[in-house]
Amino acid sequence: MPNDVENPSDIVNADELARPSSSRRDPELLREAITAWLATKVDGDAWVTDVQIPSANGMSSETILIDADWAGRSHHLVARIAPQPDSDPVFPHYDLDRQFRVIAHVAAATDVPVPALYWSEPEPGFLGAPFFVMGRVEGEIPPDVMPYTFGSWVGDASDEQRALLQTETIRVLAQIHQCPVPGGLDMPHGDETPLQAHIRRLREFYEWTIKGRNGSPLIDHGLTWVADNLPEESDAVLTWGDARIGNVIYTDFQPSAVLDWEMAAYGPRELDIAWLIFLHRFFQDLAESAGMPGLPGLLRREDVAEEYAKISGHHPQDLDFYTTYAALIHAVVMFRIQCRAIDFGQAHAPFDPDDMILHRATLEAMLAGTYWENVK
């Protein structure tokens, strides 16, 4: 632990509850702590000149922007920090060192654009939680708040520019799936297939989420549905896990950095393809429900499947199943996030637990097999 920070928890303002989109960390104490840590990593003098905490931090690990000087140069960095144990984290476990190693593996084995990696710090003594540091990449990210379908640089682009963004994002996805599978991923147990193992882990996450509270009948139905409708699986690959355009930094509508690998897994490539399709549909449905046109021509299911097949040679199969499963995964995550909001006093528990799922109607229609017939 650095000498000038006696208690890592001092970096956090103890009188402020953590919230899904805000940090409790004090930038000045962070600057001092990271300066002390940096001195253990580089030769000669090193200091942090500025620390910024984005106003809309992630729902999961925290993102910290750092400017630091050493070896006669300025370095613009990003740190990803695991959440504080007392902040009611979204997920039960955070292995940032594994995420760091997955990114390093992808960088070494493929041409997938990822940020330059500096260090992984698995010990919590410096900042109160494990973290890793990577280089900052300039560019544009499709926003989540408000969603890019509500008006953004993506919507302001020409049809040709959005087509380029779509094609090059799918190309990156195909490159990820060609990457040799790294060690350290969760693998199937016994006779499980990779998809069955993926579903088991989702069920375990859901059971952890509902411990001590009412569950969601819709999610329970969805878990039964996926178990009863398992497709024949394609070969398992490294999957990105959170494959969506909001996790990509773009320069001139082409990916310059692929971000957020904490959900990386071993499974059929359709997991990523369907996630890419569904997450856009999620934002598109939100826009349409608000009376806005959104971006109906972007990431259409048939277009994504055709483009992926053209680039990779693999024709995606059973996308009805996989997009429904993507909607179910997202439902469990949304349910967990809403549980946090209730715990923090930001929301009231509804009479019907299914109302905690923002895309309830979408998931119900997908499970009934009626969703896609109403998509224009």
Is the confidence at residue 12, as pLDDT, over 50? no
The residue ranges of every structural domain in the chain are: 8-135, 148-374
Residue 19 is given by DSSP the state B
Task: Please give the Cα distance from 372 to 7 (Å, whole number).
Answer: 54
Which homologous superfamily does the CATH classification assign to the domain defined by 148-374?
Aminoglycoside phosphotransferase (APH), C-terminal lobe (3.90.1200.10)
Structure tokens at 369: 């097999």
Pairing between β-strand 117-121 and β-strand 73-81 as defined by DSSP bridges: unpaired
- Look up residue 374 and give its two tokens: 């109403």
Question: What are the tens digits of pLDDT across the range 64-93?
Answer: 999 999 999 999 999 999 987 677 788 888
Q: Could you tell me which residues are beta bridge partners of residue 81?
A: 62, 131
Residues 6+ apart with CB under 8 A from 4: 32, 33, 36
Average pLDDT over residues 303-312: 98
Non-local CB neighbours of 70 within 8 Å, separated by 6+ positions? 38, 42, 44, 45, 46, 47
Query: Nearest-5° angle of CA 138, CA 57, CA 205?
Result: 115
Q: Which residues are catalytic?
A: 242
Q: Is there a shared CATH topology between the 8-135 domain and the 148-374 domain?
A: no
Provide the CA 320 distance to its chain's centre, in angstroms: 22
> Mind listing the pLDDT tens digit for each residue in 118-159?
999 999 989 989 999 999 999 999 999 899 999 999 999 999
Distance CA 110, CA 142 (A): 24
> What's the pLDDT score for residue 346?
87
Q: How far apart are CA 200 and CA 91, in angstroms?
A: 15
Q: Which of 206, 212, 201 is nearest to 241 (CA)?
A: 201
Picking from 184, 205, 168, 182, the residue whose alpha carbon sits closest to that of residue 299 is: 168
What is the rounded distance in angstroms from the CA atom of residue 319 to the CA atom of residue 275? 10
Taking CA atoms, 201 is separated from 41, 55, 234, 306, 332, in Å, by 36, 32, 19, 30, 12
Q: Which amino acid is at 295?
A: L
Yes or no: domain 8-135 corresponds to CATH 3.30.200.20: yes
- Give CA–CA dist 372/366, Å, rounded: 8
- The pLDDT tens digits of the residues spanning 317-369 come to 999 999 999 999 999 999 999 998 898 888 999 999 999 999 999 999 999 99
| 106-115 pLDDT, tens digit each | 999 999 999 9
